[in-house]
Structures are given as structure tokens and as C-alpha cells.
Amino acid sequence: MARASLDIDLSAICANWRALDAMSGPQTRTAATIKADAYGLGAAKAAPALMDAGVRAFFVAIAEEGATLRRIVGPEPRIHVYSGHMAGDAGLIRGAQLIPMLNSIEQMTRHFETLPGHPFGVQLDSGMNRLGMEAGEWGAVAALALEQSPVLVMSHLACSDEPDHPMNARQLAEFRHLTDGINVPRSLGATGAVLLGPEYHFDMTRPGIGLYGGRPFDDARPVVRLSLPVIQTRALEPGETVGYGNTFTAPEPMWLATVSAGYADGVLRALSGKPMLYQGDTACPLVGRVSMDLLTVDISALEDCPRVLDLICPAQGIDDLADMAGTIGYEILTALGPRYLRSYAGEAAA
């Protein structure tokens, strides 16, 4: 195997969706958030697999992603766009039959003027101060908006990965205050909200990271394995140094492998000297700095020269790497680079 390979388990993605779907009652539909090319894993493969599992509604970040997704999934599923109706997007929204989640009075005006009668949803700000209409704006246009029958009213939680955070209850109360009594389906939550319990589920949930095997869905099945080919090996004498900046010095005779992947592939440079690479159950420490295209690994524990070493595998998941780099699993996934050969297992028969 000459290329680094990223193995993506579609049946695990589907199993994770089913498990999250089973956590809410039958009156709650479970959508799938598939923005950023399914968190870097490939929407062209993940979306059809999720449809086979039962997904009928998707969420993406921007209209361009929605148009691409429409070509993949065909005319049936709903595709919602979190960024709403941005200037210049009317053609894409109409052509791909997207549902913009309108975030402001400006977007609402634009939508009603350029695409009258075209389906839309509304995003409300319940305290995160990122996207959505504020209470005052919503108060001013709610009647007008409701007259046009939005397909969904949603908001988003800032702290749903921390179940005990008081912000969750505050945002729930604010969302109820803004939407109780309206006759429109409602959605408040992502993966974290599914786990928070029934009062956070409303009519639709929109998990993303949990599908792809990340926290806060601790019971998720792992979805990715990253296997990196060894380019060469060498013996080191005690006192020899490795890589840029001489940050590692061999304390004793050791055997070193140079592996094909680096920060240009999403192996964050902040991981320098931290993770292990695995051959089966045997852990081999990454030593020295992560370079753009290369990693150096202490393989003294191995008996034979390895052909490949795994950086992401059951023994070391995306959240383990995230903790080492001071980031989150979402960033580890979306940083996975274009040079990997992506291969998919568990694909539904076409």
C-alpha cells in the first residue's frame, strides 16, 4: 500500500444514527447534519447510506453544500441550510430545492422577495449569539413569518456537550418562550441535545458528530481508521536526534520508522511527540516534530519492519487525538486531508 488510507465504516455511521434515533420518541424525527462534506468523511458515501438507514432530512452549512448534496440524494429528502438565504443564493436554493433557515429580518425579506412561496425555516437565537433572529426581531416578524408557513423553527445549544451546564436549561426556557403555541415543527438540538433527554428533542433532532463516532456520544461506534505507510526505517545510536528542531534525542539504541503523513494531511503539528502509532496492539510512540508530510516513530517494540502503522484505530480514537492536541474530535475529523485514499466499508448494495 503506497498511500495513506482512511477507512470509513458506513455501517457504523448508520448504527450510530439508529442508536441516536432510538433515544427519542416516535414523535421526534432524527435528521442528519452532514455539513463540511459529512465532517470530512465524504457526503457522497455517507448520505446514501444514511438514507438507507431511514434519514429523510439533512442539514448543511451553506447553499453550495446543499446543491452538491441534492445531486447525491435525489429529489426526496429535505435539505436545510443553516446559514439561511444569503445574497446571491436564490438560484441555488430554488434549483436544488433547499430549505434556508432564515436568520434575520434581512434574510426573510430577501427570501420573500426573490423566492415567494419557496419553503423556508426560521432560526432563532436562544442565547448562543451566533446565528438566528433575536427575540426582538422575532417578535416583530413572527406573525408575518408564520403566515407563510415555515417548515421548521430551530435554535442551537451552546453547551449541550456539558449536561450539567446551566446554559442548557436557560436556552430551553428561552426557546419555549419564543415558540410555545406556534403550530410549526420545532428543533433545538444536535448530538448533545439528543443525550440531554426528551424535553430537548421537540419534533426534530439534527445530530452530526455522534454519527461520525465522536463525543459527546460516548457509546458511538468508531467510524474511522487511519493507516499510514512506512517509507523507511533506520537504526539510531544513543544521542542521535530526530527531525526539525532536534526536539527528540535517542536515549538508547532504537529503531525508527518514517511514515507518510503530516500536518498537511491533518495530523496537527500540536500532536508532536504525543500520540502512539499502532501495529495491532503494539503502541509505538511518535517522536520528534510532525512535519508537513512525514512522521517519525519509535518502532523499537516491533519485531518486524511494519508496512503500515495506524494513527486512528480502536486503541486511539479521534477524541484521544483531540485531547492530546488541545482541540475537539470535530476538528480532527474535518482536518483529515485530501491525500488519503478513502475507502468505505459497509456500503449498502446499490
Ligand X SMILES: *Cc1c(COP(=O)(O)O)cnc(C)c1O
Where is the binding site for substrate, in residues? 130, 292
Of the residues 119, 121, 127, 207, which one makes contact with ligand X according to CB under 6 A: 207
Q: Which stretch binds ligand X (CB under 6 A): 189-197, 242-250, 254-262, 332-340?
A: 189-197
Q: Which stretch binds ligand X (CB under 6 A): 10-18, 41-49, 103-111, 204-212?
A: 204-212
With binding defined as CB under 6 A, does residue 208 bind ligand X? yes
| Binding-site size, ligand X (CB under 6 A) | 12
Closest by alpha carbon to 233, among 256, 262, 259, 261? 256
Of the residues 156, 201, 215, 289, which one makes contact with ligand X according to CB under 6 A: 156
Helices 105-114 and 135-147: angle between axes, nearest 10 degrees = 20
Of the residues 24, 33, 168, 227, which one makes contact with ligand X according to CB under 6 A: 33
CB-nearer residue toward ligand X: 84 or 119: 84
Least distance (Å) between residue 162 CB and ligand X: 12
CB-nearer residue toward ligand X: 266 or 329: 329
CB-nearer residue toward ligand X: 84 or 275: 84
Question: What does the DSSP assignment read for 9-44?
Answer: EHHHHHHHHHHHHHTS-TTSEE-EE-HHHHHTT-HH
HSE of 10, CA atoms in CB hemisphere, 13 A: 20
CB-nearer residue toward ligand X: 195 or 228: 195
With binding defined as CB under 6 A, does residue 215 bind ligand X? no
With binding defined as CB under 6 A, does residue 82 bind ligand X? yes
Nearest 5°: CA angle at 268, between 331 and 12?
45
Least distance (Å) between residue 35 CB and ligand X: 6
Which residue in 200, 244, 263, 344 is the catalytic one?
Answer: 244
Say if residues 49 and 10 touch (Cβ distance below 8 Å): yes
Q: What is the dihedral of CA 188, 191, 197, 202, to 10 degrees?
A: 30
Which residue in 35, 39, 45, 212 is the catalytic one?
Answer: 35
Residue of this chain nearest to ligand X (CB atom)? 208
Cα 162 to Cα 147: distance, rounded to the nearest angstrom: 37
Told to judge if 274 belongs to the known catalytic residues of this protein, a careful annotator would answer: no
Alpha helices in 54-119 (DSSP H): 63-73, 90-95, 105-114
Cα 211 to Cα 16: distance, rounded to the nearest angstrom: 5
Cα 80 to Cα 205: distance, rounded to the nearest angstrom: 13
Applying CB under 6 A, the residues found at the interface with ligand X are 33, 35, 82, 156, 190-192, 206-210
Active site residues: 35, 244
